[in-house]
Structure 1
Amino acid sequence: NIIIILLKQCLPSAIPIVQSSNDDVYLWRMGNEAPTDRFSTAKTWRVLHPPNPPVYWHAQIWFKGRVPKHAFIAWLVVWNRLATRDRMRGWGIDVSPSCLLCSGLDESRQHLFFDCTFSAEIWTYFCSRLHLSPPVLLEDCIRWLKALSSDTNTLLVIKLVFQAVIYMVWRERNSRLHTNICRPAQNIINDIKKTLRLRLDPISRNMRL
Protein backbone atom coordinates (compact mmCIF):
# COMPACT_ATOMS: atom_id res chain seq x y z
CA ASN A 1 0.00 0.00 0.00
CA ILE A 2 1.62 3.22 -1.20
CA ILE A 3 0.03 5.33 1.56
CA ILE A 4 1.50 3.17 4.32
CA ILE A 5 4.91 3.28 2.65
CA LEU A 6 4.78 7.08 2.49
CA LEU A 7 3.73 7.31 6.13
CA LYS A 8 6.63 5.11 7.23
CA GLN A 9 9.02 7.33 5.34
CA CYS A 10 7.72 10.38 7.21
CA LEU A 11 8.13 8.81 10.64
CA PRO A 12 11.46 9.13 12.52
CA SER A 13 13.58 6.10 13.02
CA ALA A 14 12.75 4.01 16.05
CA ILE A 15 14.99 4.54 19.06
CA PRO A 16 16.46 1.32 20.38
CA ILE A 17 15.09 0.18 23.72
CA VAL A 18 17.58 0.84 26.49
CA GLN A 19 18.72 -2.38 28.04
CA SER A 20 19.34 -2.20 31.77
CA SER A 21 19.49 -4.62 34.64
CA ASN A 22 17.90 -2.03 36.96
CA ASP A 23 14.16 -1.73 37.44
CA ASP A 24 12.37 1.40 36.28
CA VAL A 25 11.72 3.99 38.99
CA TYR A 26 8.89 6.52 38.96
CA LEU A 27 9.84 10.00 40.13
CA TRP A 28 7.34 12.65 41.17
CA ARG A 29 7.99 16.36 40.95
CA MET A 30 5.74 18.88 42.69
CA GLY A 31 6.18 22.42 41.47
CA ASN A 32 9.78 23.53 41.88
CA GLU A 33 10.71 20.78 44.31
CA ALA A 34 13.36 18.18 43.50
CA PRO A 35 12.03 14.90 42.05
CA THR A 36 11.31 12.18 44.59
CA ASP A 37 10.19 8.57 44.50
CA ARG A 38 7.55 9.28 47.16
CA PHE A 39 4.12 10.44 46.08
CA SER A 40 2.26 12.88 48.34
CA THR A 41 -1.49 13.31 47.94
CA ALA A 42 -1.42 16.45 50.10
CA LYS A 43 1.32 18.10 48.03
CA THR A 44 -0.44 17.15 44.81
CA TRP A 45 -3.65 18.76 46.08
CA ARG A 46 -1.81 21.96 47.02
CA VAL A 47 -0.16 22.17 43.60
CA LEU A 48 -3.47 21.62 41.79
CA HIS A 49 -5.43 23.89 44.16
CA PRO A 50 -3.14 26.71 45.31
CA PRO A 51 -4.67 28.56 48.29
CA ASN A 52 -5.87 32.11 47.98
CA PRO A 53 -4.04 34.73 50.04
CA PRO A 54 -5.57 35.22 53.52
CA VAL A 55 -8.28 37.88 53.76
CA TYR A 56 -7.45 40.98 55.77
CA TRP A 57 -9.78 39.93 58.61
CA HIS A 58 -8.35 36.43 59.02
CA ALA A 59 -6.70 37.15 62.39
CA GLN A 60 -9.88 38.77 63.71
CA ILE A 61 -11.85 35.53 63.23
CA TRP A 62 -9.39 32.63 63.46
CA PHE A 63 -7.27 33.81 66.38
CA LYS A 64 -5.66 31.65 69.05
CA GLY A 65 -7.96 31.20 72.03
CA ARG A 66 -11.20 31.58 70.08
CA VAL A 67 -14.39 29.67 70.88
CA PRO A 68 -14.78 27.48 67.76
CA LYS A 69 -18.56 27.75 67.36
CA HIS A 70 -18.43 31.51 67.92
CA ALA A 71 -15.67 31.90 65.34
CA PHE A 72 -17.62 29.83 62.81
CA ILE A 73 -20.75 31.97 63.09
CA ALA A 74 -18.65 35.15 62.95
CA TRP A 75 -16.98 33.80 59.81
CA LEU A 76 -20.39 33.23 58.21
CA VAL A 77 -21.45 36.74 59.20
CA VAL A 78 -18.39 38.33 57.59
CA TRP A 79 -19.07 36.41 54.38
CA ASN A 80 -22.79 37.23 54.70
CA ARG A 81 -23.75 33.57 54.46
CA LEU A 82 -26.28 33.34 57.28
CA ALA A 83 -29.91 32.79 56.27
CA THR A 84 -31.15 36.22 57.31
CA ARG A 85 -34.61 37.14 56.07
CA ASP A 86 -33.42 39.57 53.42
CA ARG A 87 -31.34 36.79 51.85
CA MET A 88 -34.17 34.26 52.14
CA ARG A 89 -36.53 36.61 50.34
CA GLY A 90 -33.85 37.08 47.71
CA TRP A 91 -33.96 33.31 47.17
CA GLY A 92 -37.71 33.53 46.52
CA ILE A 93 -38.78 32.20 49.94
CA ASP A 94 -41.99 33.81 51.20
CA VAL A 95 -41.12 34.95 54.73
CA SER A 96 -41.86 38.09 56.67
CA PRO A 97 -39.07 40.65 56.27
CA SER A 98 -39.40 41.90 59.87
CA CYS A 99 -36.59 41.48 62.36
CA LEU A 100 -37.34 38.73 64.87
CA LEU A 101 -35.65 40.62 67.70
CA CYS A 102 -37.27 44.04 67.48
CA SER A 103 -40.16 43.54 65.00
CA GLY A 104 -39.24 46.92 63.63
CA LEU A 105 -37.16 47.21 60.49
CA ASP A 106 -36.41 44.50 57.96
CA GLU A 107 -33.94 41.83 59.00
CA SER A 108 -30.54 41.98 57.34
CA ARG A 109 -27.03 41.24 58.49
CA GLN A 110 -26.31 44.87 59.35
CA HIS A 111 -29.64 45.41 61.09
CA LEU A 112 -29.72 42.14 63.04
CA PHE A 113 -26.23 42.37 64.52
CA PHE A 114 -25.69 46.13 64.82
CA ASP A 115 -28.68 48.40 64.12
CA CYS A 116 -31.39 46.44 65.95
CA THR A 117 -32.31 47.98 69.32
CA PHE A 118 -32.04 44.54 70.96
CA SER A 119 -28.49 43.99 69.68
CA ALA A 120 -27.54 47.61 70.39
CA GLU A 121 -28.43 47.15 74.07
CA ILE A 122 -26.02 44.22 74.30
CA TRP A 123 -23.23 46.06 72.47
CA THR A 124 -23.71 49.13 74.66
CA TYR A 125 -23.30 47.09 77.83
CA PHE A 126 -20.00 45.49 76.85
CA CYS A 127 -18.55 48.54 75.10
CA SER A 128 -19.21 50.69 78.17
CA ARG A 129 -17.41 48.23 80.42
CA LEU A 130 -14.47 47.88 78.08
CA HIS A 131 -14.41 51.65 77.37
CA LEU A 132 -14.70 51.10 73.63
CA SER A 133 -16.41 53.03 70.83
CA PRO A 134 -16.44 50.71 67.81
CA PRO A 135 -17.93 51.67 64.44
CA VAL A 136 -21.52 50.67 63.76
CA LEU A 137 -20.94 49.16 60.31
CA LEU A 138 -19.72 45.56 60.14
CA GLU A 139 -16.95 46.15 57.61
CA ASP A 140 -15.66 49.14 59.57
CA CYS A 141 -15.86 47.18 62.81
CA ILE A 142 -13.68 44.39 61.40
CA ARG A 143 -11.05 46.93 60.31
CA TRP A 144 -11.31 48.60 63.71
CA LEU A 145 -10.60 45.26 65.42
CA LYS A 146 -7.49 44.88 63.29
CA ALA A 147 -6.14 48.26 64.38
CA LEU A 148 -6.79 47.81 68.10
CA SER A 149 -4.36 47.63 71.03
CA SER A 150 -1.35 45.40 70.59
CA ASP A 151 -1.72 44.14 74.17
CA THR A 152 -2.37 40.43 73.71
CA ASN A 153 -4.71 39.92 76.66
CA THR A 154 -6.80 43.01 75.95
CA LEU A 155 -7.12 42.13 72.29
CA LEU A 156 -8.15 38.57 73.13
CA VAL A 157 -10.95 39.77 75.41
CA ILE A 158 -12.27 42.21 72.81
CA LYS A 159 -12.26 39.60 70.05
CA LEU A 160 -13.97 37.07 72.30
CA VAL A 161 -16.66 39.63 73.19
CA PHE A 162 -17.20 40.51 69.53
CA GLN A 163 -17.69 36.89 68.51
CA ALA A 164 -19.75 35.98 71.57
CA VAL A 165 -22.22 38.80 70.94
CA ILE A 166 -22.55 37.78 67.29
CA TYR A 167 -23.12 34.15 68.25
CA MET A 168 -25.61 34.81 71.07
CA VAL A 169 -27.64 37.28 69.01
CA TRP A 170 -27.94 34.73 66.21
CA ARG A 171 -28.86 31.99 68.69
CA GLU A 172 -31.58 34.16 70.26
CA ARG A 173 -32.90 35.03 66.82
CA ASN A 174 -33.20 31.35 65.92
CA SER A 175 -34.71 30.50 69.29
CA ARG A 176 -37.49 33.03 68.74
CA LEU A 177 -38.08 31.70 65.25
CA HIS A 178 -38.45 28.06 66.31
CA THR A 179 -39.86 28.26 69.86
CA ASN A 180 -41.58 31.67 70.04
CA ILE A 181 -39.84 32.21 73.38
CA CYS A 182 -38.44 35.73 73.74
CA ARG A 183 -35.78 36.48 76.32
CA PRO A 184 -34.76 40.02 77.31
CA ALA A 185 -31.38 41.41 76.31
CA GLN A 186 -30.14 41.22 79.91
CA ASN A 187 -30.46 37.43 79.81
CA ILE A 188 -28.32 37.34 76.69
CA ILE A 189 -25.76 39.59 78.38
CA ASN A 190 -25.61 37.21 81.34
CA ASP A 191 -25.12 34.24 79.00
CA ILE A 192 -22.27 36.03 77.24
CA LYS A 193 -20.58 36.96 80.53
CA LYS A 194 -20.81 33.36 81.74
CA THR A 195 -19.38 32.02 78.49
CA LEU A 196 -16.51 34.51 78.51
CA ARG A 197 -15.62 33.80 82.11
CA LEU A 198 -15.46 30.08 81.41
CA ARG A 199 -13.23 30.75 78.41
CA LEU A 200 -10.94 33.21 80.16
CA ASP A 201 -10.49 31.30 83.43
CA PRO A 202 -7.97 28.83 82.00
CA ILE A 203 -6.02 31.75 80.52
CA SER A 204 -6.04 34.08 83.49
CA ARG A 205 -8.23 33.88 86.57
CA ASN A 206 -7.66 37.58 87.16
CA MET A 207 -9.38 38.65 83.93
CA ARG A 208 -13.03 39.47 84.61
CA LEU A 209 -15.66 41.56 82.89
Structure 2
Amino acid sequence: MAAPNRLSWSMKKVLESREVFHELQAMHMLHSAVFSIRRLYLQMQGEHEHVRWKRIVCNNKASPKTLFVTWLILHGRIATKDRLFSWGVTVDNCCPLCNATCEIISHLFFECTFSQSIWTVCQRHLKVVVIRRQFDEEIHAVAMKSKRKGAIAQLYCMMFVEAMYQIWLQRTAKIYGGIVLNTEANYRQICFRVASIFNDDIRQLLIC
Protein backbone atom coordinates (compact mmCIF):
# COMPACT_ATOMS: atom_id res chain seq x y z
CA MET A 1 0.00 0.00 0.00
CA ALA A 2 1.40 3.39 -1.02
CA ALA A 3 2.00 5.99 1.70
CA PRO A 4 -0.49 8.91 1.60
CA ASN A 5 0.92 12.13 0.15
CA ARG A 6 -0.23 14.19 3.13
CA LEU A 7 2.30 12.49 5.40
CA SER A 8 5.70 13.99 6.18
CA TRP A 9 8.84 12.69 4.46
CA SER A 10 9.97 10.83 7.59
CA MET A 11 6.59 9.11 8.06
CA LYS A 12 6.55 8.09 4.39
CA LYS A 13 9.94 6.42 4.87
CA VAL A 14 8.70 4.57 7.94
CA LEU A 15 5.68 3.22 6.08
CA GLU A 16 7.72 2.37 2.96
CA SER A 17 10.05 0.28 5.13
CA ARG A 18 7.27 -2.30 5.30
CA GLU A 19 8.10 -3.19 1.71
CA VAL A 20 11.67 -3.96 2.76
CA PHE A 21 10.42 -6.45 5.35
CA HIS A 22 8.16 -8.10 2.78
CA GLU A 23 10.96 -8.36 0.20
CA LEU A 24 13.31 -9.90 2.75
CA GLN A 25 10.59 -12.16 4.12
CA ALA A 26 11.45 -10.75 7.52
CA MET A 27 8.03 -9.86 8.88
CA HIS A 28 8.57 -12.39 11.67
CA MET A 29 11.19 -10.04 13.13
CA LEU A 30 8.46 -7.50 13.91
CA HIS A 31 6.61 -10.05 16.02
CA SER A 32 9.72 -11.11 17.94
CA ALA A 33 9.98 -10.14 21.61
CA VAL A 34 13.32 -8.44 20.92
CA PHE A 35 13.92 -6.65 17.61
CA SER A 36 17.52 -6.66 16.40
CA ILE A 37 18.74 -4.02 13.96
CA ARG A 38 21.90 -6.08 13.47
CA ARG A 39 19.97 -9.16 12.35
CA LEU A 40 17.94 -7.10 9.90
CA TYR A 41 21.08 -5.42 8.54
CA LEU A 42 22.82 -8.77 8.01
CA GLN A 43 19.74 -10.12 6.24
CA MET A 44 19.64 -7.04 3.99
CA GLN A 45 23.31 -7.57 3.13
CA GLY A 46 22.77 -11.13 2.02
CA GLU A 47 25.52 -13.67 1.42
CA HIS A 48 28.75 -12.25 0.02
CA GLU A 49 32.26 -13.55 -0.46
CA HIS A 50 34.60 -12.53 2.36
CA VAL A 51 37.02 -9.77 1.28
CA ARG A 52 40.28 -11.06 2.69
CA TRP A 53 42.29 -7.91 1.92
CA LYS A 54 39.93 -5.37 3.52
CA ARG A 55 42.32 -4.62 6.41
CA ILE A 56 45.09 -3.72 3.95
CA VAL A 57 43.00 -0.69 2.94
CA CYS A 58 40.72 -0.02 5.91
CA ASN A 59 43.35 -0.25 8.68
CA ASN A 60 46.02 1.63 6.77
CA LYS A 61 47.29 5.14 7.55
CA ALA A 62 48.53 5.82 4.02
CA SER A 63 47.28 8.86 2.11
CA PRO A 64 43.83 8.72 0.49
CA LYS A 65 45.27 8.80 -3.05
CA THR A 66 47.56 5.87 -2.22
CA LEU A 67 44.68 3.87 -0.78
CA PHE A 68 42.47 4.69 -3.76
CA VAL A 69 45.09 3.39 -6.21
CA THR A 70 45.51 0.32 -3.98
CA TRP A 71 41.74 -0.23 -3.98
CA LEU A 72 41.71 -0.10 -7.80
CA ILE A 73 44.60 -2.57 -7.99
CA LEU A 74 43.02 -5.02 -5.55
CA HIS A 75 39.73 -4.85 -7.44
CA GLY A 76 41.52 -5.36 -10.77
CA ARG A 77 40.24 -1.99 -11.99
CA ILE A 78 43.51 -0.13 -12.49
CA ALA A 79 44.01 0.93 -16.12
CA THR A 80 46.93 -1.29 -17.08
CA LYS A 81 47.93 -1.53 -20.73
CA ASP A 82 46.24 -4.89 -21.26
CA ARG A 83 42.89 -3.33 -20.31
CA LEU A 84 43.51 -0.22 -22.42
CA PHE A 85 44.49 -2.46 -25.35
CA SER A 86 41.28 -4.50 -25.02
CA TRP A 87 39.29 -1.24 -25.14
CA GLY A 88 41.13 -0.10 -28.26
CA VAL A 89 42.65 2.89 -26.44
CA THR A 90 46.27 1.91 -27.11
CA VAL A 91 48.05 -0.14 -29.77
CA ASP A 92 50.71 -1.38 -27.36
CA ASN A 93 50.19 -3.63 -24.33
CA CYS A 94 53.85 -4.13 -23.39
CA CYS A 95 55.04 -3.34 -19.86
CA PRO A 96 56.75 0.09 -20.04
CA LEU A 97 59.06 -0.66 -17.10
CA CYS A 98 60.74 -3.83 -18.38
CA ASN A 99 59.50 -4.16 -21.99
CA ALA A 100 59.50 -7.92 -21.48
CA THR A 101 55.85 -8.96 -21.58
CA CYS A 102 52.23 -7.81 -21.50
CA GLU A 103 51.41 -5.35 -18.73
CA ILE A 104 48.82 -7.03 -16.54
CA ILE A 105 48.30 -6.41 -12.83
CA SER A 106 50.01 -9.60 -11.71
CA HIS A 107 53.06 -8.74 -13.83
CA LEU A 108 53.28 -5.12 -12.71
CA PHE A 109 53.00 -6.18 -9.03
CA PHE A 110 55.59 -7.75 -8.62
CA GLU A 111 56.75 -10.03 -11.45
CA CYS A 112 58.27 -7.12 -13.38
CA THR A 113 62.00 -6.89 -12.57
CA PHE A 114 61.72 -3.13 -11.98
CA SER A 115 58.85 -3.37 -9.47
CA GLN A 116 60.22 -6.54 -7.94
CA SER A 117 63.47 -4.76 -7.05
CA ILE A 118 61.57 -1.96 -5.28
CA TRP A 119 59.50 -4.30 -3.12
CA THR A 120 62.54 -6.44 -2.37
CA VAL A 121 64.46 -3.41 -1.03
CA CYS A 122 61.45 -2.47 1.12
CA GLN A 123 61.30 -5.96 2.60
CA ARG A 124 65.04 -6.06 3.30
CA HIS A 125 64.95 -2.71 5.12
CA LEU A 126 62.14 -4.08 7.27
CA LYS A 127 64.28 -7.15 7.99
CA VAL A 128 61.70 -9.45 6.42
CA VAL A 129 62.73 -12.65 4.68
CA VAL A 130 62.35 -11.95 0.97
CA ILE A 131 60.14 -14.53 -0.73
CA ARG A 132 59.17 -14.19 -4.38
CA ARG A 133 55.42 -14.67 -4.57
CA GLN A 134 52.68 -14.38 -7.16
CA PHE A 135 50.42 -11.34 -6.84
CA ASP A 136 47.55 -13.20 -5.12
CA GLU A 137 49.97 -14.89 -2.73
CA GLU A 138 51.57 -11.56 -1.85
CA ILE A 139 48.15 -10.03 -1.14
CA HIS A 140 47.34 -12.98 1.13
CA ALA A 141 50.65 -12.60 3.00
CA VAL A 142 50.10 -8.85 3.56
CA ALA A 143 46.47 -9.45 4.56
CA MET A 144 47.64 -11.88 7.25
CA LYS A 145 50.10 -9.29 8.58
CA SER A 146 47.39 -6.63 8.58
CA LYS A 147 45.54 -8.59 11.27
CA ARG A 148 48.37 -7.95 13.73
CA LYS A 149 48.51 -4.82 15.89
CA GLY A 150 52.26 -4.33 16.28
CA ALA A 151 54.25 -1.42 14.83
CA ILE A 152 56.13 -3.69 12.42
CA ALA A 153 52.87 -5.05 10.99
CA GLN A 154 51.47 -1.53 10.51
CA LEU A 155 54.69 -0.40 8.89
CA TYR A 156 54.80 -3.43 6.59
CA CYS A 157 51.23 -2.88 5.35
CA MET A 158 51.83 0.80 4.73
CA MET A 159 55.11 0.12 2.92
CA PHE A 160 53.26 -2.38 0.74
CA VAL A 161 50.59 0.06 -0.45
CA GLU A 162 53.12 2.87 -0.85
CA ALA A 163 55.37 0.57 -2.90
CA MET A 164 52.48 -0.23 -5.25
CA TYR A 165 51.64 3.46 -5.51
CA GLN A 166 55.26 4.35 -6.27
CA ILE A 167 55.45 1.65 -8.94
CA TRP A 168 52.29 3.03 -10.52
CA LEU A 169 53.76 6.55 -10.49
CA GLN A 170 56.95 5.29 -12.14
CA ARG A 171 55.03 3.33 -14.73
CA THR A 172 53.02 6.44 -15.62
CA ALA A 173 56.15 8.58 -15.70
CA LYS A 174 57.81 6.16 -18.13
CA ILE A 175 54.82 6.26 -20.48
CA TYR A 176 54.50 10.05 -20.49
CA GLY A 177 58.18 10.91 -20.64
CA GLY A 178 58.76 11.74 -16.99
CA ILE A 179 61.78 10.98 -14.83
CA VAL A 180 62.18 7.31 -13.91
CA LEU A 181 64.09 6.83 -10.66
CA ASN A 182 66.40 3.99 -9.71
CA THR A 183 65.51 1.45 -7.03
CA GLU A 184 67.15 3.28 -4.12
CA ALA A 185 65.56 6.61 -5.06
CA ASN A 186 62.16 4.95 -5.29
CA TYR A 187 62.67 3.43 -1.86
CA ARG A 188 63.53 6.87 -0.43
CA GLN A 189 60.30 8.28 -1.89
CA ILE A 190 58.33 5.48 -0.23
CA CYS A 191 60.11 6.00 3.10
CA PHE A 192 59.47 9.74 2.99
CA ARG A 193 55.72 9.27 2.60
CA VAL A 194 55.61 6.62 5.32
CA ALA A 195 57.79 8.60 7.76
CA SER A 196 55.66 11.73 7.31
CA ILE A 197 52.67 9.93 8.84
CA PHE A 198 54.06 7.75 11.62
CA ASN A 199 55.44 8.94 14.97
CA ASP A 200 59.14 9.03 15.92
CA ASP A 201 59.14 5.54 17.46
CA ILE A 202 57.98 3.90 14.25
CA ARG A 203 60.20 6.17 12.12
CA GLN A 204 63.18 4.69 13.92
CA LEU A 205 62.27 1.31 12.44
CA LEU A 206 62.89 2.75 8.97
CA ILE A 207 66.48 3.74 9.75
CA CYS A 208 67.61 1.04 12.17
Q: Which residue of 1 aligns with 2:74?
A: 78
CA distance change for structure 1 residues 68 and 76 in 2, over 3 Å: closer, same or farther? same
Q: Which residue of 1 aligns with 2:150?
A: 152
| Distance in 2 (alpha carbons) for counterparts of 1:204 and 1:124 | 20
Give the alignment partner of residue 141 of structure 1, picking from 138, 159, 167.
Answer: 138
Per the TM alignment, residue 130 of structure 1 is displaced from its structure 2 partner at its CA by: 1.8
Give the number of aligned pairs.
176
- Counterpart residue identity of residue 97, structure 1: N
Helix, strand or coil: the match of 2:100?
Answer: coil
| Distance in 2 (alpha carbons) for counterparts of 1:179 and 1:117 | 20
Q: Which residue of 1 aligns with 2:86?
A: 90
Q: Which residue of 1 aligns with 2:172?
A: 174
CA offsets 1:31-85 (integer angstroms, 9 cap, x no match): 4676xxxxxxxxxxx89x7475651211122214232221111111111111111
- Contact residue 125 and residue 206 of structure 2 kept, 8 A: no
| Distance in 1 (alpha carbons) for counterparts of 2:79 and 2:135 | 17
| Distance in 2 (alpha carbons) for counterparts of 1:169 and 1:117 | 11
Per the TM alignment, residue 142 of structure 1 is displaced from its structure 2 partner at its CA by: 1.4
- Counterpart residue identity of residue 161, structure 2: Q
CA distance change for structure 1 residues 112 and 53 in 2, over 3 Å: closer, same or farther? closer
Q: Which residue of 2 aligns with 1:40?
A: none
| Distance in 1 (alpha carbons) for counterparts of 2:178 and 2:143 | 37
- More displaced stretch, 148-157 vs 187-196: 148-157
Higher RCO (CA-CA < 8 Å; seq separation 6+): 2
Q: Rg: which structure is higher?
A: 1
The gaps in structure 1 that reach 5 residues or longer are 1-22, 35-45
- Contact residue 95 and residue 108 of structure 2 kept, 8 A: yes
TM-score when scaled to structure 2? 0.71
TM-score when scaled to structure 1? 0.71
- More displaced stretch, 87-96 vs 146-155: 146-155
- Counterpart residue identity of residue 136, structure 1: R
Aligned-pair Cα RMSD in Å: 3.1
Per the TM alignment, residue 204 of structure 1 is displaced from its structure 2 partner at its CA by: 4.3
- Counterpart residue identity of residue 89, structure 2: I
| Distance in 1 (alpha carbons) for counterparts of 2:119 and 2:60 | 23
Per the TM alignment, residue 184 of structure 1 is displaced from its structure 2 partner at its CA by: 2.0
Give the percent of matched residue pairs that are identical in Structure 1 and Structure 2.
Answer: 23
- Contact residue 74 and residue 167 of structure 1 kept, 8 A: yes
Give the alignment partner of residue 191 of structure 1, picking from 184, 189, 192.
Answer: 189
- Counterpart residue identity of residue 155, structure 2: V
Which has a greater percent of helix?
Answer: 2
